[in-house]
Structure 1
Amino acid sequence: MKLKSNYDKTFQYVRKNARGLTYDVGYHLYQRDDGTFIYGSEIVQEAYDGRIGGGASVLNFHGTKEQAEEYLRSVLEETIEKLPEYWESNRDRNRNETDEGAVNDAWLIRRIFGYWPEFHDAKMLSVALRRRTSGGRPCTDMEFSIHHWGQDNPNSKGEDVHCKLTFLLEDVAGQEFVTDNVADPSYIGDLRFSRCDDGRIQVDLEPSTGFSLLLYCMVARVMCVERYSPERA
């Protein structure tokens, strides 16, 4: 796996953990007329097929272009250091393909966007856990909301539709709910729903940044699709 974005600046960084793996980093930085620095970046770990990145993000920095570039490199290096441990595992090699049919009321999303997304670059807005009793036993439901605007539509014509999508997962179970960097903005690499042989639904959220999910539930449902006005930097 190599860098794909063809950014004009590249470098390699060796992560300071037990594995000491090398990461390839590409980025582009420019300054708008109002002095704001905007950057795009891509980070790749070839051995474990890992890739994260994003474009047109605001760099929270004031100074010269040279100072901003030095600061950006430190931000990207820190991003690598904060990656969760599963990122250097084999989890991604045998992931199930997503199945729109595994999600109740999936049509609510398809009606707006015209396709079933991978949810790449969607922003995680909130996650809530609720305990309840079902059939005399305790269980837990999870509800989460994301900001999606059709940004991963392969047939996009440039018409963004900003929406808040809320999902409900009923009777969740699983051992991976990684909250590393939960205080930082969480963006989705992709979000997959698939059916298991035992009738449950697997929910597999691979992040670009922030926390990840690999859980199982009895029911996955689209609860709500509503227009959303994102905060502007």
Structure 2
Amino acid sequence: MNSKAIAILTKEFFSRPSHLVAPDLIGCYLNKRVSKNKNLSGVIVETEAYSQEEDSCHGFSGKTKRNETLFGEPGNLYIYISYGIYHCVNVVTGKKNWANGVLLRSIAIRDEDERIAAGPGLLAKRFGLNRKHDNLLLSPENNFWFTNRKDFKKMGNIVQTTRIGISKAKDIPWRWYLESSRSVSKRVKGDKIPPTNKCWYPSSHEGL
């Protein structure tokens, strides 16, 4: 992950428990093919991990038609509608037939409003992701893919804390966010938003 070379994150990267994948996604890019010559790219700055053994996970009570994607192949998208209002974008992790995934909570996009994708619903809206993309394999051929992080040593501290917006298993510290980003949806108490001149963002991203 420290390499400066841009590389696509493959199934191997996601074939690990969600609580290992989630912090490793901080600083990586979500990319969308907008047109033949244009991509939308943003840096992932906040994630949450979920796993079948804890009761905040959608797969805690077993596989259903609604959550079957979460039991599927690592590296595919799992997208659901929260409170009947907004979409939440997750990537399946771990192994097949075991519910395991990472929720993408916030993304920072260069030259755009710093809060445009600061939260699951806003993130899904900005990248045009919805239920029709559920179970989509992440790859350039499918117009959505992840690439590895750059300038890793310059990012600064990654905060580990508890998840938010859930009513069960609230004490598990499976949320991570980039302390130096102003695009985090919610910071821990006492962690002030960094001033603009101290906010981290990679110098460039060439894409693929």
TM range (shorter): under 0.3
- TM-score, normalised with respect to structure 1: 0.26
Larger Rg: 1
Counting strand residues as a fraction of each chain, which structure ranks higher? Answer: 1
Question: Highest relative contact order (Cα 8 Å, sep 6+), 1 or 2?
Answer: 2
